[in-house]
Structure 1
């Protein structure tokens, strides 16, 4: 799944064995076949805007006269099992979208076409680093970056002005100072929250860990070892707690940003800031339409003044199944989708293009501009098949956050337990 919002490699491998698939791409159709053909494309619900796909498919079919594009929009719920079945059979789609946490699992199962040699055709010199990493496995590239998004701090301009905050915070300390001013101005209202920050927003935690020079894990080839017990990771966790305590947030410490939906809380007009994604403004505006004009954004601040903190980037990749019967057409489709023309359309729609460094369209909107500025230092979760299991199940990072924030565990115990759980998932 896209990690901003998920069976096992072994299961995929078993399915392949039953189906008798080669998995190397040798049974696919990399050379053009004669006569009318159909290119089957699976993209996910909520991904490419309809006007973009309509234009792309029209252009593709104009240059491929005997080809019909069968475009099928898939739902995220249940897609991992559906893909596992499809990639093990003889009637697989030709182009598929994979969430950046899914790609390593399928790449490791040898059910995706190796596109390393074709990278230049897909603008590989401009690939977004976080998505490039998630689409690679064991030194080879199996998926092409599609688009991405990352979090930033959404804030109420009117509240900042009333609290005497003249510029968006450019460091952690300035952020804390802004919170102090907001609470001094509006704190008499018992419902006011300077920052709404749920206890299990692990995406935000990663920014603080990265900013300290830490990471979730280190890799040696395809082997990953958890590093949440490092001094850098602990420092990131400590700042998360400091921010929670300073903000006076009323968010639950045992739930994430979707429980309850934080955009709805922000839309009620009693919250000055949330750490979220650009489209959460539209969700908040369902409660109060004026919030669109009242909201701006700034990158998550670093401890180093003037430099945005690194951010976790969620997003999607595009891949060609190894058993696609029309791999030549699939490559042509990816070449068109990764062109400046269509990647520019993604930027206009408010997404970070995966195969273009041009984010000028994003910079015209203050919220999207903050996302684009932070995106230059985006990172992905460990590119291991075990990560999809972590996110689909009981996420150790969430458990660690809740245990530490509530005082149920010391920072040493919380990070040690999370490390053990991650290493178990990596080994599986």
Structure 2
């Protein structure tokens, strides 16, 4: 992910990005569809591109603009850089009109399902193979698809891996865990071994960090919600989900004192207790390395491992945050936009996500550009194995209502997972199934 210090606030916004103004979006764009502009549009003109602040490096943007304009004489490409705060409301207005719409837009991955469902985006299914096909990040393909068609292609992503203190592991006689059960046991042993340190957590895992907590859900084969026919069903009451909740509460009971942390800013800075010897491990992003005490790094006291599988030989499945990129259904320059999309998914531009920004590119064929070191390799594997939030048009409303946030906060506080899951499932179903 982006190594800039602005990334945490950016990711917080992105995580809840689709919530604001959604009802109006459904009304404004609902009749748009891919019929918003006839044919392929103008053969030349100015292509307007909305990228989000800090998503694409200046070097990457310069390359795309110059290459596009060289390959399309008489046409220009203009960037209009946006900020995450308020972007849904802004898109609601812009995408509803052929006169105001940008041609290419970046969307937060959890925002994408809504825009796909309401007909605001052009169908890219016929381009999928040339954009990357099976090499495209699957969890983002799922979020950028609706009714079997892909409308928003994976742009870039980042996913969590574990950072751990080698010295604290060694002192407690703990090995790197290879299953979730071993992770719980390791956290418990570390907690006990450091009982003299106030507020010590074997693992730093705040309940408010629900996008971390759902790795346990996904790895056990559960989902937040799933579609059954035309109906969405909440997934927190399923046996798979309940098993994951039991595992989490076991960690919070014996291997962590951080479950009751409810301040999102504090939760987004897990490197703080890591640096002050108050935790032995945390679940974070590759860019957190820059915030870790470099004395610890240079002394070889920092190690990494991926989210462990439910059983030996399996695969851990964390959540991946990131963005999708799409063409507006109202664009009058769709042919030009598709040419730009081809460049966006070319080797030069995709590799720039990794080399310039520290992201995993949407086309995993080019992910090796991130690096061959252990941290980069684990980050790429985490994105490749990731699972996404439900690809439901109303999912942004669920996030906006903080249904999942509140649920995992209650889990971190030790509340009953069965009754709370039933209530959360009912709340999600009510929102997901409304017209």
TM-score by length of 2: 0.88
Q: CA deviation at 1:9?
A: 5.2
Distance in 1, matches of 2:403 and 2:236, equals 10
- Asked whether the equivalents of residues 104 and 384 of structure 1 are also in contact (C-alpha less than 8 Å), the reply is yes
My pick for the range that moved more, 415-424 or 303-312, is 303-312
| SS of corresponding position for 2:350 | helix
Report the counterpart of residue 201 of structure 2 in structure 1.
193
Q: CA deviation at 1:194?
A: 2.0
Q: Runs of 5+ in structure 2 lacking a partner?
A: 1-12
Report the counterpart of residue 204 of structure 1 in structure 2.
212
Q: Runs of 5+ in structure 1 lacking a partner?
A: none
Aligned residue pairs, count: 417
TM-score by length of 1: 0.89
Does 1:39 find its partner at 2:44?
no
Query: Pairwise CA RMSD of aligned residues?
Result: 2.5
Report the counterpart of residue 15 of structure 1 in structure 2.
28
After TM superposition, list the pairs within 5 Å mapping 1:324-343 onto structure 2: 324-343=331-350
Distance in 2, matches of 1:28 and 1:91, equals 16
Q: CA deviation at 1:33?
A: 3.3
Q: CA deviation at 1:130?
A: 0.5
The change in CA–CA distance for 1:176 and 1:52 in structure 2 (over 3 A counts) is same
Report the counterpart of residue 383 of structure 2 in structure 1.
375
Q: CA deviation at 1:206?
A: 1.7
Distance in 1, matches of 2:29 and 2:220, equals 42
The change in CA–CA distance for 1:389 and 1:321 in structure 2 (over 3 A counts) is same
The change in CA–CA distance for 1:260 and 1:227 in structure 2 (over 3 A counts) is closer
The change in CA–CA distance for 1:218 and 1:199 in structure 2 (over 3 A counts) is same
Distance in 1, matches of 2:32 and 2:16, equals 33
Pairing partner for 1:107 from 108, 112, 116? 116
Does 1:344 find its partner at 2:381?
no
Report the counterpart of residue 15 of structure 2 in structure 1.
3
Does 1:263 find its partner at 2:276?
no
Distance in 1, matches of 2:303 and 2:82, equals 33
Q: CA deviation at 1:29?
A: 6.5
Distance in 2, matches of 1:227 and 1:314, equals 20
- Asked whether the equivalents of residues 177 and 308 of structure 2 are also in contact (C-alpha less than 8 Å), the reply is yes
Q: CA deviation at 1:273?
A: 0.9
The change in CA–CA distance for 1:4 and 1:295 in structure 2 (over 3 A counts) is farther
Pairing partner for 1:406 from 408, 413, 434? 413
Does 1:312 find its partner at 2:319?
yes
Pairing partner for 1:416 from 396, 408, 422? 422
| SS of corresponding position for 1:91 | coil
Report the counterpart of residue 77 of structure 1 in structure 2.
85
After TM superposition, list the pairs within 5 Å mapping 1:37-186 onto structure 2: 37-89=45-97, 90-165=99-174, 167-186=175-194
Q: CA deviation at 1:280?
A: 2.2
Measured against aligned partners, the alpha-carbon deviations of 1:345-387 in whole angstroms (never above 9, x if no partner) come to 2233432221233432345232222222233321111101111
| SS of corresponding position for 1:329 | helix
